[in-house]
Amino acid sequence: MTACRGVLVTRPSRQLGRTLAALRAAGHRAEHLPLLQLTPLASPELDAALARYRAADLAIFVSANAVEFGLAALAERNIATAGPRLAAIGAATASALANANVAVDVVPADGHDSESLLAMAALRDVQGRTVLIFRGESEGGGRKTLAATLAARGATVIAATCYRRDPAPHDPARVAAIAAAIETGALNVIQIMSVESLDALLAMLAGTPNLRQCRVIVPHARIGEAARAAGFGDIVVAGLGDEALSHALASPEH
């Protein structure tokens, strides 16, 4: 039987209520403190990228957030999604497209990262093709690998940067309450979705001595490496969905 834990979920999400309800139904304490806020971007560079959408051979969405803001940017410019083949970096992103009634042509059967997508046949032979990548500002790690690898394979890669991430503002009393719960052990697990989220967490809770005693659940090994470098010791690499979070909570401590 899984021990009950205090879980701090830090991602910005429109569907977070379901996650919190599932955690609480399983007996865990669940709190939400979004570390980042997402803002749509408008720029001449984005206009130029979207002007090439219909002529592109492939459009890649690198996250559910990229789906939300990318589809909104297309709709604002009256650009239909029909045209290029559409690829999703993983199942969660594919589900976001499906929920928007947009058909997905390419999605990895396993994995949810750039390497999984790059291994697919549809992305191996891209010589002379135009590939549009819907992404957020300052995407790092694997997202840079995706663009660089496709360019090395002979594709013309165009970044459609459609949103930005900034540290989310919070009531100091709320932050103090979260810090106190971490100090007493009432919250002992933190879900971190990106390196930017990790940086925001460390800045927000810099004066919390027991912070690094918490288990950290991350979606990718790169984020886990950053957490380890920041001093966390109990790190679990899991997927993106609620089921993956549940399995990570049940994992033995490192």
What does pTM read for this prediction? 0.83
Tell me which H or E stretch contains 162. Answer: strand 156-167
Q: What integer pLDDT is reported at residue 1 of this predicted model?
A: 43
CATH architecture assigned to 39-166: 3-Layer(aba) Sandwich (3.40)
Q: How far is CA 208 from the centre of its chain?
A: 25
Reported CATH class of domain 6-35+170-250: alpha beta
For residue 239, report the phi and psi dihedrals to the nearest 5 degrees. Answer: -85, -160
State the alpha helices, DSSP H only, in 160-251: 172-184, 195-204, 221-229, 242-250
Is the CB of residue 216 less than 8 Å from the CB of residue 224? yes
pLDDT of residue 165: 87
Minimal CA–CA distance to 243: which of 18, 66, 8, 35?
A: 18
Q: What is the dihedral of CA 221, 88, 99, 32, to 10 degrees?
A: 20
Whether 6-35+170-250 and 39-166 share one fold: the answer is yes
Query: C-alpha distances in angstroms, 83 versus 55, 63, 69, 105?
Result: 7, 20, 18, 12
* pLDDT at residue 141 in the model: 47
Q: Which two tokens stand for residue 33?
A: 């403190």
Query: 190 CB contacts (<8 Å, ≥6 apart)?
Result: 7, 8, 10, 201, 214, 215, 216, 217
- Residue-level pLDDT at 187: 95
Domain ranges of the chain: 6-35+170-250, 39-166
Beta strands in 27-127 (DSSP E): 29-32, 36-40, 58-61, 85-88
Residue 41 in contact with residue 163, Cβ under 8 Å?
yes
> H-helix or E-strand containing 134?
strand 130-136
Give the pLDDT of the chain (254 residues) as one tens digit per residue: 457 789 999 987 666 778 888 888 888 999 999 998 899 999 999 999 999 999 999 999 999 899 999 999 999 999 999 999 999 998 889 999 999 999 999 999 887 788 999 999 999 999 999 999 999 987 554 468 899 999 999 999 999 999 998 888 899 999 999 999 999 999 999 999 888 899 999 999 998 999 999 999 998 888 999 999 999 999 998 876 777 787 778 776 65
pLDDT at 218: 92
140 vs 90: CA distance, rounded Å: 17
